[in-house]
Amino acid sequence: MHKYLPHTEADIKAMLDAIGVERIEDLFAEIPDSLKDFEMDLPKAHSEMELRKHFRELAKMNQPLIPFAGAGAYDHYTPSIIPYLIERQEFLTAYTPYQPEVSQGTLQYVFEYQTMITELTGMDVSNASMYDGATATAEAMFLAQATRKKNRVLVSATLNPYVRDVIDTYAHAKGIEVVTLPEVDGASDFSALEGSLDDDTAALIVQSPNVYGVIEELEGVKETLKQKKALLVVNQDPSTLAYLKPPADHGADIVVGDAQPLGIPLYFGGPYIGYMAATKKLMRKMPGRICGATEDTDGRRAFVLTLQAREQHIRRDKATSNICSNQSLMALFVTIYLSLMGVKGLKDVQKTSYNHAHYLYENLKGLKQFEAPFERPFFKEFTLRTTLDAEKMNQALKEKGYLGPFAHGTYDASKADLVTFAVTEKRTKEEMDELIRILGAL
């Protein structure tokens, strides 16, 4: 018997006898021999000690860099109490029981998370969270399509290209036509909006601050969309809502994004967490789950999963989405972060990030290698045009221990001279000055 395979020879024989085959290989008789005839080149099994040594050596290959890149993931500080709390086994290893109301603690923090998301976005309802910002945005497209029963969606050219990729993938599967709203000077060209709308348009998806870091001017957009009853979907880094006007004030119908900037470390690209908030009108069609507060038979405050029956259980074929899960542990992470920070703490972090970004912007703009391609308001991320080769520049920065700016040439060759720097409260003046010095010498 193998230590990870609990069946004894006798167990296996009993099972084979019960179904009437002689050998395990007989179960795979359907698979042609030509597909079975290969050898796997696997190393020998390791002991625990050998494995630990192996992974320690792999870990040594990591090169810690000081990041000045963002484009959707931001290096904010994680207070140490958060990992300590979320690693409690009641949270870390628990799987949602199939009678979710048994886990009142889980439902309560999800309820608190939803409350915080609605407070930040100004929207009526938030769901219990989604896998990440990109899939949440694609799910918002589905929600708009299902509500408006229209198969065309406008997406601003200034949306993060990786989010756009996910939208395109989702749209392809559902036969949704995705049309790009053009950009001008680093922002969505809303003067082209009226002409881009038609009777089949379900929604406009726009990101603010956008992929260039520019804060989109959303005033009046909703009024134009209303002419064709198209919905306004805003993708926004929720941490910027510490200062920026909530999307609800611009008439947003659905607000989505990645909540990673609310203190979740960069890790190696995940786990992050998508959020989705909407108007009350869309509540019943919203994908995912919603936790609600109610009273039990003794009149005590209690939490339940609510508004999921129709879409996920009774009418699955009619559902907007069949997502039946959420990113619960990361929702807890965000909830603890926001609770610790409070309004003042969140504002302090974002104000410092804003000030650092503007300091770096002013200084880099003064170098001969850089110029501002457009004059637009930005938050903690900004775009410059460079005379340097972006790839070589980032290679040089990497050798000095810095993760250089997001290079737009990586997805669009016509934007090869545009690079976007992100700066958080964690970047010190010394780090920024060193970056300026290195870049100035290239």
Residue selected from 229, 351, 358, 426 as contacting another protein according to rule CB under 8 A: 229
Residue number with CB closer to another protein (150 or 164): 150
Does residue number 310 form part of the binding site for another protein (CB under 8 A)? yes
The residue (of 46 and 318) whose beta carbon lies closer to another protein is 318
Query: Of 284, 301, 347, 392, which lies in the binding site for another protein, with binding defined by CB under 8 A?
Result: 284
Told to check if 222 binds another protein by CB under 8 A, we report no
Q: What angle do CA 238, 231, 346 make, to 5 degrees?
A: 10
Query: What's CA 148's distance to the chain center, in Å?
Result: 25
CB of 134 to another protein, least distance (A): 29
Cα–Cα distance for residue pair 271/138, rounded to 1 Å: 18
Q: How far is the CB of 227 from another protein (least distance, A)?
A: 12
Distances (CA, A) of 230 to 149, 153, 177, 251: 11, 9, 14, 12
Which residue stretch of 6-14, 81-89, 311-319, 355-363 sits at the interface with another protein (rule: CB under 8 A)? 311-319
Quickly count: other Cβ atoms within 10 Å of residue 388's Cβ. 16
Which of 83, 380, 340 shows the shortest CA–CA distance to 241?
A: 380
Instruction: Pick the stretch among 174-182, 313-321, 339-347, 416-424 that binds another protein (CB under 8 A).
Output: 313-321
Sheet architecture: strand order including 254-258: 125-126, 274-278, 254-258, 231-235, 201-207, 152-156, 177-181
CA angle 401/402/403 to nearest 5° reads 130
Nearer to another protein, 45 or 314 (CB): 314
Kindly indicate which of the ranges 24-32, 207-215, 306-314, 366-374 contains the residues binding another protein, using the contact rule CB under 8 A: 306-314
Alpha carbon distance 128, 239 (integer Å): 18
Exactly one of 46, 52, 315, 429 binds another protein (CB under 8 A); that residue is 315
By C-alpha distance, which of 421, 418, 427 is closest to 185? 418
* Minimum CB distance to another protein smaller for 307 or for 330: 307
* Single residue of 42, 58, 314, 441 touching another protein by CB under 8 A: 314
Report if residue 385 touches another protein, rule: CB under 8 A.
Answer: no
Binding window for another protein (CB under 8 A); candidates: 115-123, 238-246, 314-322, 430-438: 314-322
**Contact call for residue 223 and another protein (CB under 8 A):** no
Question: How many other C-beta atoms lie within 10 A of the C-beta of residue 131?
Answer: 20
318 near another protein (CB under 8 A): yes
Q: Are 137 and 176 in contact (CB under 8 A)?
A: no
CB of 224 to another protein, least distance (A): 18
The residues that touch another protein, with contacts defined as CB under 8 A, are: 229, 284, 309-310, 314-315, 318
